Structure 1
């Protein structure tokens, strides 16, 4: 789930990304991305079923919602830990990428450390 501060929709950003090209080329094997209903159906992209009718379609949508909520909570914790990522980053793309990568690594180190301390 990609978010942009300049008003571009996530699907527009994805459709113009290197990641999409790599996914289209099958570089990630049997791995999936989650998308909302703005995304087209792709073998690597799980999207909700519009107007679900069957039980399987309803369960598919429920599983996507639960997974998306888990991811959103994780992003929320990350943004609370590192407010710089919650703000509009006014920097070059390479610097923004460095901030995102660095804070993600630090976030994961903190999570791993706290899990070790609870054992």
Structure 2
């Protein structure tokens, strides 16, 4: 499992969504059927895989990866049991992550409204979607760069985990060398070079924070 390394030199601001330190999601990496605990690796689509959690920044750099869970394990459980979650819970990382509706809403993890009833909620959802697409783009770039992650890793689960992390490291090296094109929607992407203050402490739960952001920013 790659060491937690949330990049603190920027915050993502896309479509007006404030103070985001990364976008989180899981991606299924297909592997050959293992000899041990084979059923645990069958995901909801019916093939054997690892469910790999990643966090990305606005430059498609992978700032955190957890590669150790079978494909049947849900994204929310992987995050809940991760070091990254504990770092946020303990206040060691300022800012927020964006995740899809499969994650639990937290003060530091914003998810979309499932049934937006007001205009500012709909605008929030639009901004959330346009920002969170960064992680999907990162998965696409990573899997195009390393076709084995798109097709199948013919390795045991343990070796496959090592291979995935190695690919992430090489992916980041490639980005640092400037060998991929940037986000096609550059006009909507603002990367601040200075660390800004964390989200307003509402002294409440994730719903309170989300409502505060939606009303005051959208």
TM range (shorter): 0.7 to 0.9
TM-score for the superposition, normalised by structure 1: 0.76
Specify the SS of the correspondent of 2:26.
coil
Aligned match of 1:20: 85
Alignment of 1:75-90 (within 5 A): 75-86=139-150, 87=152, 90=156
Taking a change above 3 Å as real, the CA distance of residues 90 and 66 of structure 1, as seen in their structure-2 partners, is farther
Q: Which runs of 5+ in 1 are unaligned?
A: none
* Higher normalized helix content (fraction of residues): 1
Give per-residue Cα distances to partners, 1:55-114, cap 9 Å, x unaligned: 221111111211222320221111111123333563327x62x43333223223333333
Aligned residue-pair number: 112
What displacement does 1:40 show? Answer: 2.1
Structure with greater contact order relative to length (CA < 8 Å, sep ≥ 6):
2
Aligned match of 1:47: 111
Aligned match of 2:17: none
What displacement does 1:22 show? Answer: 1.8
TM-score for the superposition, normalised by structure 2: 0.45
What displacement does 1:26 show? Answer: 1.2
Taking a change above 3 Å as real, the CA distance of residues 77 and 53 of structure 1, as seen in their structure-2 partners, is same
Q: Which runs of 5+ in 2 are unaligned?
A: 1-24, 28-50, 52-69, 181-218
* Higher normalized strand content (fraction of residues): 2
Tell me how large the CA RMSD over aligned residues is.
Answer: 2.3
